[in-house]
Chains A and B, each alone.
Chain A
Amino acid sequence: MVFKSNIPQSSDFISQSQKDMIGNFETIDSSWGKQGSSNENIGDHVSLKDDKLDNQGMHKKLTLVEQGSEPAPSTNEITLFSQDTSGKPEIYYRRDGDASGYQLTSSGKVSVGGLVLQAFVVFDFQGNILEREELDEDGNTIKVPMKLNVASVTANQPLVNGGNLYGDWNINFTNALPTDNFIWDYRAFSDSSYSNLTTKVVQAQPYSSATYSDTVSTTRFRAFSTNISPDGTTVTPAGPVIGRLERMVFHAYTVA
């Protein structure tokens, strides 16, 4: 039933007013938020009839209906809202004094300063994605893979004694990136204990190619490594790098 804000009227019979008022109370109850037993996804607020009195008046979730214009905050206020961005609603915020709002989300990810982290991974010379340990809420130790949107790291050449001698890796994304013109960064540090190579430094970089798509695509980034000399002389051959890479770090961004 549609809420009637203009009832009861002085000319209404009390039987009519009773129906109007119960209709309004039902609409308020429904719009406010349903109980879990009904459908807790309906309505943004904890139901007015919720069994836990402490929860009443609180939010279950926040559904932001796309706005046609930015809501301007008053003194000492912030507005949080959604607005169309390239055909999809994104979340913005605007502070007291701001000329316009700032975008906080972009295509399902958080935008930080206008840059969106699309992928990230830390892996070792065997291609294992590293994990860190942390405690869950029950105090149990859990392992968290150090990756975001990376399905796997695969060697482009056969491993020798478990190692990727040329550091030639494909970093395969779980979900394709929106463009291959993303901004990438790939770094590594090496183990200096290899005595036969201590006069060399290992360089980790994108795979060498004149064709960009050989190295970077929306679905994978190809990484490579070579030996270089710290004194500027040419090292021949530039590879293999023979087990000197301990950790590799890759991250990829797009502009929101």
Chain B
Amino acid sequence: MVFNPDIPQPRDDLSVSQSDLLANFQGLNTQFSINHVAFDDTGGDSGKHKFVTFVQQAAVPETKADEYLIFSQDQAGTPELYARPESNGTAYQITKSGSIYTGLLPVVAVNFDVTGAIQGTALNVASISRPGGTGRYVVTFTNALPDANYFWSVSGFDNSSNPVVSQVTNDSTYSSVVTSSTISLDFKNQNNTLATALTRACLICWRIQ
């Protein structure tokens, strides 16, 4: 039943007011309990939120001074969360496609040893091979990326006193070393030979969100 804010009226019969009041109390408890722990909860959590459902807004809601707003708006056909600072500041997107929105999305991350064994927990890495058994590694992604035009950063070290130059494998053809599902990495000594005794290395890849 729809909540009735205009009851009881002075002319109402007591029996009418009783049913109106009963319906309002029931409606209040039911509606409040959709997103909140219900008024009649006995566990001490009444008034807190179970979860928050954001109904997509057609227009950006307004903010006054000392307020901050979170709301939902359509983004390419799917609702996403947005925020707006105080005093009608510029609203900005805070989620996109299942992640916090920063503009840059990590899509691959891994820490691995000389054999290519993944150390700890990796992000979107199925395996790392070591063709040739030297300082060249091919990282294979669990889920292919939408294309090969992503950003990468690779770094490694060994036990020598000389530097380890960490890079994507040299090749004149981009697709030979960087694809949507793999990336080839080289770790070289300063005399341009592949390092064979890598201690550890890390790779991170990002995409524009």
Contact = CB atoms under 8 A, between A and B. Distances in A.
B102 interface: yes
A58 B68 CA distance: 11
Interface string A75-90: 0111111100000000
A42 B44 CA distance: 11
Contact of A78 (B47, B72, B121, B162): B72
Contacts of B54: 77-80
A112 B99 contact: yes
Contact of B157 (A102, A111, A182, A215): A215
Interface stretch (A93-101, A128-136, A154-162): A93-101
A2 B38 CA distance: 10
Interface stretch (A26-34, A119-127, A138-146): A26-34
Nearest to A83: B51
A108 interface: no
A71 B111 contact: no
Q: Which of A43, A179, A181, A187: most chain B Cβ within 10 A?
A: A181
Contact of B79 (A7, A76, A233): A76
A235 B190 contact: yes
Interface in A188-233: 203, 205-212, 215-216, 224, 226-229, 232-233
A183 interface: yes
B163 A115 contact: no
B52 A79 contact: yes
B14 A14 contact: yes
B178 interface: no
Interface residues of B, number: 76
Contact of B49 (A4, A63, A205): A63
A45 interface: yes
A113 B103 CA distance: 11
B110 interface: yes
Interface of B: 14-15, 18-19, 21-22, 25-26, 28-30, 36-40, 42, 45-56, 64, 67, 72, 74, 78-81, 95, 98-100, 102, 105-107, 109-111, 119-124, 153, 155-166, 190-192, 197, 199-200, 202-204
Interface of A: 2-10, 12, 14, 17, 21, 24, 27-28, 30-33, 42-45, 54, 58, 62-65, 67, 71, 73, 76-82, 93, 95-98, 102, 104, 110-115, 179, 181-187, 203, 205-212, 215-216, 224, 226-229, 232-235, 238, 253-255
25 contacts: A2-B40, A5-B39, A5-B40, A10-B15, A10-B18, A31-B46, A43-B47, A62-B49, A63-B49, A71-B51, A77-B53, A78-B72, A93-B95, A112-B102, A181-B119, A183-B109, A184-B202, A185-B153, A205-B157, A208-B164, A212-B199, A228-B163, A232-B192, A238-B190, A253-B106
Given A67-B51, A104-B100, A233-B191, 9 more contacts: A9-B18, A9-B22, A58-B67, A79-B51, A81-B52, A96-B79, A182-B111, A186-B155, A208-B160
